[in-house]
Structure formats: structure tokens, C-alpha cells
Amino acid sequence: METQGISMKKIRICAAQEIEYSIESHDSLEQMAAGVASFADGGAMSVFIDQGLPRAHADAFVAALRFAGVSVRCHCVNADEEQKTIDNALRIAEILNRSGTKRRSSPPAVIGGGVVCDLVGFACSLYRRGIPFIRVPTTLLGMVDVSVAAKTAVNHFGYRNRLGSFHPAVATYLCPGFLDTLPGRHVANGLAEVFKVALIKSRRLLDLLDEHGHAFFEPGVESNPFVKEIIHLAAMAMAEELEPNLWERDLRRIVDYGHSFSPLIEMTYIDELLHGEAVAVDCLYSALLSRQRGMLAEADVDRIFDIAKKLRLPLYHRGFGDGQLVADALRDTIIHRDGNQNLPLMRGLGDAVFVNDLTLVEMRTASEALSRISATGRSSGFPMETYAT
């Protein structure tokens, strides 16, 4: 073939992906179901139901969809962090394929906890290179964190969320009525993510947690106005941080607070720690790093620990006392953040800055202090050095 005189030319493609999705909160299950039903094209919809969801809630949701005229195909999903695997995601994709799921219309819906929402969302991102889906989170963690997120993932290679995608649900529906049967440990699990965003972004939200966080554990939680306000403010705070950087072009994210050391520790102790529990201890550990650098007053550290206790959050876990594990966790985080620590640390209540020079000595000191404070409840005498910030 004659190619003389032909030179290679560069072909450049530049495209932008516009994305829009909504998070709606409803007091009534019927209103919420009507919103979900509006996506059913031709009256049929596949619904993936968390096996851990109380039967009464699952039946009521399906009945409300059917009352709205939807022909529901139910699929039960059994998932916790140990079941959040690529194999289970492929099983869900197989169900989508077998059901003849369309590429755009009649998106499937998932109702349940954050793990199930993540798993089904990831399967939808794989099937036919991505189909829309609808989320109905029923746990507090799902309502305040998963509901806003654009990411889906599964655990792999022994790491949390190591395989994943940016694939937000086209719509997410919240209903506080699901919280009335949520076990106390899982209530606290969700409050940990509220606690996190309050510490680094919202003094108002932190004050509400301090004064009214107990309401999440009391009867009538689904109708308590402070519960509704806390959920709304937490989701809004997350949305404000995520929207300008949805695809994480900038790897400095203050919402990564509480997620710098906890991911590897959570996976190492997966039989002991819920996600929010690992995040809570990471938040406290990181607050001590701030105190050590003179960025937090002793009284603020005491108040942070006091609020954590009110929210029934763990104050310590032995994983944070394992110097090698904590160092390994930070090393993996540095890889995830493209070679930088980009460590969000508190600079006063409701504010944060990024640090890139954390040392092993500081980490060891904070680990020792965390163990001591969790036993005594006070930070008095915590060693502090002043750093230029």
C-alpha cells in the first residue's frame, strides 16, 4: 500500500457530560411511591429489596407501588459489607439482563441500606455500559450519605470500594418513616456521617446534634422536626461539597474527613466494625491530630468527644492503636489521592484545612492519646505543638 507523503494527524475529542439528579424527602410512603412510580414506562418495574429491610416496610412499599399502577417484579438482595462483591454485582446484572431491562426507560429501583444501594447501583453502571436506576435508602446512613453520592462500588482485593464507578441514581427518595424500626447500632452508624460533615462544615449542624441527637433513638423519630432538620442539613452540606467536584477532578475533598485511616481499618476488622463506626473513630483520631497542631482548643476536643458519646459512637478501636496498620492506611490513602496526603483536619469547629506533611510521630502520639481519652473522657494534658498553618 502506498503511504508516502501521508502524515499522522491528531484527532481530538472534547465532550462534557451534563448530569442532573434529585433527592426528595416525603413524610408519606404513598407520596414517595408515587414519585418512584412516575418512572415506570408501561407500568412495569424491577425492584431490588434489601433482605434486611423489615417485612412490613418492604410489603408497604411494594403495595404502594402497585396501588400507583406499577407491575412490580421483586428481587431480594442479601448484602452486607462482606457480600458487597463483584460476583454479587454480576448476579444483579444477570437479573437485569434476564428481565429485559431497557437502556433508558423503566429504570429499576433499589430499596434498602447503603450497601444494597451501592451494589445495585454498581450493577446498573455495568449493564449495557450504564442504565439509570432509582434509590430508596432506608437506613440513616443511606439517607444522609449514599443519597447524595454519585459513586457506586464493590469491595475487592481486600480493600473497601476498590472497584467502582461514577453513576448517580436519577432520583433518590427519602422517607424518615423507615427509621422507626432501625436498630440503635445502625442509627449511630448513620449519625457518624452526620457527625463527620458537622465537624468540618457546619457549626449549626453540630449544635443540633449536641442538643437533639438523642431524638434519633427515641419513639416518634419519624415525625420529630429536629430529626428531619438534621437529615436535611446533613444531606445539603454533602451536596454543597459534592456538586462542584462531582467527578473528583480535585482530590482535595473535605468530605474525606473521617475517611483517611478508616477504610483499611474497617476492612481489616470487617467482622467488628460498621462503616460509620470506623468513620467515627477516624474523626476523633483526626481531631486529636488537629489538637496536636494547635488547630483545636482543648475545650473543643472535649466537646467533640462528649457529642460522640451522646450519639452512641465508639470512642476507640484497637485498629487505631496498631501503628503499622494506621501507617499502611495512610499510605493507601496517599495512592488514592494521587501521591498526596490531602488530609482534611479540623481548624476549629465547623471548619477544615488540608495537610500534606503528617508524620509518623504525630500519628503515634494521637493513637496513644485516643486510647487514653477514650478511657478517661478528657483531653487534659494532651501534648500539643504549634505548627504554622
> Catalytic residue positions?
151
Contacting residues for 375 by C-beta, under 8 A, at least 6 apart = none
Backbone angles phi, psi at 296, to 5 degrees: -135, 135
Residue pair 241/253 in contact (Cβ under 8 Å)? The answer is yes
Q: Tell me, what DSSP letter sits at residue 104?
A: S
For 142, counting Cβ atoms within 10 Å of its Cβ (0-12 exposed, 13-18 middle, 19+ buried), the class is buried
Give the residue from 363, 385, 191, 351 showing the smallest Cα distance to 257: 351
Q: What single-letter amino acid sits at 374?
A: S
What's the CA gap between 22 and 34, in Å, rounded? Answer: 15
Degrees, nearest 5: CA angle 124-125-128? 80
Strand 22-25 to 134-137 pairing: unpaired
Instruction: Give the CA count within 13 Å in the CB-facing half-sphere of 101.
Output: 28
What's the CA gap between 123 and 129, in Å, rounded? Answer: 10
Backbone angles phi, psi at 269, to 5 degrees: -115, 45
Residue pair 292/285 in contact (Cβ under 8 Å)? The answer is no
Degrees, nearest 5: CA angle 228-36-217? 25
Contacting residues for 343 by C-beta, under 8 A, at least 6 apart = 260, 286, 333, 354, 355, 356, 358
Q: What single-letter amino acid sits at 372?
A: R
- Cell numbers for 210, please give them: 449536641
Give the residue from 71, 62, 52, 66 showing the smallest Cα distance to 117: 52
